[in-house]
Amino acid sequence: MTRYLIVRLISVIPTLIGISILVFGINYLIPGDPALIMAGGETSPEVVASLRKQWGLDQPVYVRYLAWLANMLTGNLGDSYFSRQTVTQLVGNALPVTLELALLSLLIAVVIAIPTAIVSAVKAGSWFDLAAAALGFVGLSIPGFWLGIMLIYVFAVYLQQLPAGGFTPLSAGLVPNLQSMILPSIALGTFASTQLMRYLRASLLDVLHADYIRTARAKGLRERLVLVRHAVRNALIPFVTVLGVQMGYLLGGTVITESVFALPGIGRLVLTAVLNRDYQVATGIIFLIAASFVLINLLVDLLYPVLDPRVRLGRSGT
């Protein structure tokens, strides 16, 4: 296990370097000059040239990348061209909002997906299974922004029970905080639940027809015990993989949801940075999101032997 962990951590290094090159290159390919935006109404070539030199924008791309990489290795992700705050400060202010949104959305998705998938697999072909499949396809087809707007219209405009947008920090009270987060969490969690439900149902259908399930039933074990101890536990391995991917998606895919609900999170911050050509902020945040995907996948791999003792990391090609 320790050897496997060391090997995996070492293998992450070239992956992160490749991600950094890709992210940095893509951000600097975005049309537009941040120096012109910073200059505002001042179009003097001398002012624009001075701003470019001040922020190192007159240097070749590879020189800027190496300087950014060297700073990043020391924990310095750079400064915003416009707010004059460090990227670390901006991320620190926005990350709690996105983390709370992602965790609440994932909780909603799991609460919906697991019982629905279990009942659908046990009663495959029933009216419940068909209805769940139909609702799942509908959930996958509905754009997240449209669902968010509909939730705002129903619960904020028509019923006037929840706020239409904005964020209330936890320090202001648990109830106001949840009221500001419940609608965006439902909008994100609904889409995630449909994918989780489909994967878990398919995995359960395979497991329920396995030989060891028939053996457990032949021994006289109660159906509920067979389902929980043998079927669900073994079906959770592919489910956890998808769950990890969904967590990474929820951390990085909140741009539209945070914009619709006016949440000051990472998604809205990176969107603003891209629109303003604030390269330092956009590059730093996108790299952190991509790195979180890699680390979440590593964590999921390490959870495999916990879920299934038959899995031995680092052996038999695993």
- For the stretch 104-144, pLDDT in tens is 998 998 899 888 988 888 888 888 888 888 888 887 788 77
- For the stretch 92-108, pLDDT in tens is 888 889 889 989 998 99
- For the stretch 36-90, pLDDT in tens is 777 765 567 777 777 777 777 778 878 888 888 888 888 888 888 777 788 888 8
Q: What is the rounded average pLDDT of the residues 15-35?
A: 80
Phi, psi for residue 81 in degrees, rounded to 5:
-65, -25
Quick check: 217 pLDDT over 80? no
pLDDT of residue 317: 41
Model confidence at 309, pLDDT cuts 50, 70, 90, reads low
Model confidence at 19, pLDDT cuts 50, 70, 90, reads confident
Counting DSSP H helices and E strands in the chain, the numbers are: 14, 0
| Domain membership flag for residue 105 | yes
Choose between 225 and 166: higher pLDDT.
Answer: 166
Supply the CATH number for residue 158's domain: 1.10.3720.10
Q: Are 275 and 266 in contact (CB under 8 A)?
A: no
Model confidence at 304, pLDDT cuts 50, 70, 90, reads low
* C-alpha span between 312 and 218 (Å, rounded): 29
Select from 268, 306, 222 the least CA-distant residue to 90.
268
* C-alpha span between 184 and 230 (Å, rounded): 36
Q: Are 105 and 189 in contact (CB under 8 A)?
A: yes
| Domain membership flag for residue 68 | no
* C-alpha span between 318 and 312 (Å, rounded): 7
- For the stretch 196-214, pLDDT in tens is 888 888 888 888 877 777 7
* C-alpha span between 318 and 291 (Å, rounded): 23
pLDDT of residue 45: 75
Domain count, the chain: 1
Q: Are 305 and 1 in contact (CB under 8 A)?
A: yes
| Domain membership flag for residue 82 | no
Q: Are 253 and 247 in contact (CB under 8 A)?
A: no
| Domain membership flag for residue 312 | no
Domain of residue 120, residue span: 93-267
Choose between 53 and 18: higher pLDDT.
Answer: 18
| Domain membership flag for residue 123 | yes
Choose between 300 and 13: higher pLDDT.
Answer: 13
pLDDT of residue 318: 40
- For the stretch 149-191, pLDDT in tens is 999 999 988 888 888 888 888 888 899 999 999 999 998 888 8
Look at the chain and count its residues: 318
| Domain membership flag for residue 62 | no
Task: Provide the phi-psi class of 79: left if phi over 0, else alpha when psi is between -120 and 50, else beta.
Answer: beta
pTM: 0.80
pLDDT of residue 152: 92
| Domain membership flag for residue 117 | yes
| Domain membership flag for residue 280 | no
For residue 196, the Cα-to-chain-centroid distance in whole angstroms is 14
Compute the mean pLDDT over every residue in the chain, rounded to the nearest whole number: 81
